[in-house]
């Protein structure tokens, strides 16, 4: 079942996904902000899983990729619900390793807390928890708090990157770095020290907040935010293989 399929939610949202069946624990990849399951890292993980006989699930959040919906309606809570809905429907009772890229690294924490004993591990790739706090200046926060969208320069494309008030407010309500994070599974965090989007000390702060004693932070001195070079992908796949 490696082609794209769709899961219908009760409210009419259609969530696109790809699923490879194999041995566990299952790998579930969570893309970054405005990204989808066609991205290079997601595809590499899926192809590795297929080649190695592992269960792997990819998805597009609503408003992204091939899923239905408007991106402007997206929030962390909404997308977390979609992740958990698909996990429950397609991986019922299975142990799961969540792999989260950038914003997906925040979502993996929120979804992991909900998975409970079914959570087998976490792999963060430039994880960006609490970016609604440290990712905006005071003027931008004031605009968002007033209910107005903001637009920032986008180094990856010609169109500016939007942030909508609903996503920002929901993110502020779901911040995790202010207190202990009660997750005890193995955790691996990869972060480039040349990352201009998410400061690499965010991974260090996250490591300190996680309750787990089995946490490793892998710093790549010349790595950028995407960590999509061949050597970065190789490190990611090696990390997943050792954790799973």
Q: What residues act catalytically?
A: 102, 195, 225
The span from the CA of 101 to the CA of 119, in Å, is 17
- Calculate helix-pair angle for 76-90, 165-173, nearest 10 degrees: 70
How is residue 87 written in tokens? Answer: 């996990």
Q: Which of 213, 13, 28 is nearest to 114 (CA)?
A: 28
The span from the CA of 44 to the CA of 168, in Å, is 30
Biggest distance spanned by C-alpha atoms of the chain: 50
How is residue 140 written in tokens? Answer: 């931008």
Catalogue the E-assigned strands of the chain: 5-8, 14-20, 23-30, 54-59, 96-101, 119-125, 150-152, 161-163, 187-192, 215-220
183 with 117: CB under 8 angstroms?
no
Query: Which positions ≥6 away from 223 have C-beta within 8 Å?
Result: 190, 191, 192, 193, 194, 195, 229, 232
Token pair 């300190």 in the structure block, residue: 208
């Amino acid at each position: 079942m490696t082609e794209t399929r769709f899961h219908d939610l009760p409210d009419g949202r259609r969530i696109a996904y790809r699923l490879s069946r194999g041995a566990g624990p299952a790998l579930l990849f969570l893309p970054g902000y405005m990204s989808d399951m066609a991205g290079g890292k997601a595809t590499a993980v899926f192809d590795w899983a297929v080649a190695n006989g592992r269960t792997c699930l990819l998805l597009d959040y609503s408003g992204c990729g091939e899923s239905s919906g408007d991106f402007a309606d997206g929030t962390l809570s909404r997308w977390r619900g979609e992740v958990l809905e698909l996990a429950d429907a397609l991986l019922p009772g299975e142990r799961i390793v969540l792999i989260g890229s950038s914003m997906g690294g925040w979502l993996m924490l929120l979804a992991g807390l909900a998975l409970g004993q079914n959570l087998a591990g976490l792999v963060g790739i430039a994880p960006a928890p609490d970016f609604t706090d440290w990712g905006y200046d005071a003027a931008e926060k004031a605009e968002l708090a007033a209910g107005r969208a903001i637009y920032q320069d986008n180094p990856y494309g010609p169109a500016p990157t939007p942030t909508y008030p609903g996503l920002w407010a929901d993110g502020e309500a779901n911040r995790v770095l202010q207190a202990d994070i009660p997750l005890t599974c193995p955790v691996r965090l990869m972060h480039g020290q040349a990352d201009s989007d998410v400061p690499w000390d965010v991974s260090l702060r996250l490591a300190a907040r996680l309750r787990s004693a089995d946490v490793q932070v892998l710093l790549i001195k010349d790595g950028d935010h995407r960590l999509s070079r061949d050597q970065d992908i190789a490190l990611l796949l090696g990390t997943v293989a050792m954790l799973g």
